[in-house]
């Protein structure tokens, strides 16, 4: 199953609530995923809107994810940690009300600490966080995202190590971030294959993938750009997904949001058509190629 959507309310959607964004994602864009963004501080969502998100996404088969606020440090001081827990739990509770699958968070920073010490703290704190999530009977999975800067905790290996050590935590694979952090290493099929190869140890049943073009230098991400403006090709990644029939969700976090989500869709459908030899394809229907 392939799902495609964008991070946040589509730019071309006139209404600016998440509710408007969800309906637009389904009705106008004909996409089947959305990642609700609580990235600017604590966004308040009324119960009524959360309930609508829950019912509408269920009835219309749109998969929801939630992104917690950006400034999080799960390896920081006890003050930073309290605030981070608060933000993530706030997002997780709302995600649960919406029936979302994942609450995505950035892990945090090394600061003055060694990589090893940071890892230890991360594992300890994330275990604690997952404990609270479980205790509150929140059914949403905690997703930890790969990050695109050297000084920020979150290489692919680090995220995998967290997920190996903390049960029920999943990796959120930011392709643009990995590409930037490895100074543009994602070029060919084998480069993308290596990502899946490394993830294998986690035995994931579903992959949550963030996609964007990215500007970077010396292994550090500067900013996101439209997919076509970046130098990371998408086609080899899509080929691997189709070859393996992965259950996967693509979330566009490019500055063009839904326009690039639609671009991903077109790339997927082009790849399907290449296989079927037909002039039409629907990214939701892979029955002819598997």
Residue in the shown chain whose Cβ atom is closest to Zn ion: 145
Helix (H, G, I), strand (E, B) or coil at 255: coil
Closest distance of CB 104 from Zn ion, Å: 6
- Distance of closest approach, residue 55 Cβ to Zn ion, in angstroms: 27
Q: Structure tokens of 83? A: 């605030």
Distance CA 127, CA 120 (A): 11
Residue 258 engages Zn ion in binding (rule: CB under 5 A): no
What region does 203 belong to: left with phi over 0, alpha with psi -120 to 50, or beta? left
Closer Cβ to Zn ion, 145 or 258, answer by number: 145
**Close Cβ partners of 176 (under 8 Å, ≥ 6 residues apart):** 148, 210, 211, 212, 213, 214, 221, 224, 230, 232, 253, 254
Residue 244 CB, shortest distance to Zn ion, in Å, is 25
105, 73 contact by CB (below 8 A): no
Among 96, 145, 258, 260, binds Zn ion (CB under 5 A): 145
For Zn ion, give the closer residue by CB, 22 or 103.
Answer: 103
Taking the complex as a whole, how short is the minimal distance between the CB of residue 9 and Zn ion, in angstroms?
16
Q: Which stretch binds Zn ion (CB under 5 A): 44-52, 112-120, 140-148, 266-274?
A: 140-148
Choices 125-133, 139-147, 219-227, 234-242; region in contact with Zn ion by CB under 5 A: 139-147
Q: With CB under 5 A as the contact rule, which of the stretches 144-152, 157-165, 211-219, 270-278 interacts with Zn ion?
A: 144-152
* Percentage helix, strand, coil for the chain under 3-state DSSP, each rounded to 5: 45, 20, 35
Q: Which residue has the tokens 């790849």?
A: 271
Taking CB under 5 A as the criterion, which residues in 48-87 touch Zn ion? none
Q: How far is the CB of 271 from Zn ion (least distance, A)?
A: 26
Binding site for Zn ion (CB under 5 A): 145
């Amino acid at each position: 199953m392939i799902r495609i959507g964008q991070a946040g309310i589509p730019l071309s959607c006139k209404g600016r609530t998440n509710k408007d964004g969800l309906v637009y994602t389904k009705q106008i864009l004909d996409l089947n995923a959305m990642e609700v963004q609580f990235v600017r501080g604590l966004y308040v969502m009324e119960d009524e809107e959360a309930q609508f998100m829950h019912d509408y996404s269920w009835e219309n088969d749109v998969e929801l994810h939630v992104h917690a606020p950006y400034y999080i440090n799960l390896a920081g001081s006890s003050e930073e940690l309290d605030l981070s827990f608060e933000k993530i739990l706030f997002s997780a509770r709302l995600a649960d009300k919406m029936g979302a699958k994942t609450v995505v968070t950035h892990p945090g920073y090394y600061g003055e600490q060694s990589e090893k010490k940071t890892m230890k703290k991360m594992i300890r704190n994330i275990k604690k966080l997952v404990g609270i999530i479980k205790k509150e009977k929140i059914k949403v999975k905690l997703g930890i995202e790969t990050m695109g800067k050297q000084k920020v905790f979150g290489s692919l290996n680090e995220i995998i190590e967290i997920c190996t050590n903390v049960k029920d935590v999943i990796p959120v694979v930011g392709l643009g971030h990995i590409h930037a952090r490895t100074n543009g290493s994602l070029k060919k099929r084998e480069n993308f294959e290596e990502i899946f190869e490394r993830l294998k140890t986690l035995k994931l049943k579903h992959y949550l993938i963030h996609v964007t073009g990215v500007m970077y230098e010396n292994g550090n991400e500067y900013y996101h750009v439209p997919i076509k403006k970046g130098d990371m090709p998408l086609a080899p990644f899509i080929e691997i997904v189709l070859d393996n029939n992965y259950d996967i969700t693509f979330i566009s976090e490019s500055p063009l949001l839904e326009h690039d989500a639609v671009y991903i869709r077109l790339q997927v459908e082009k790849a399907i058509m290449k296989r079927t030899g037909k002039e039409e394809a629907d990214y939701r229907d892979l029955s002819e190629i598997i």
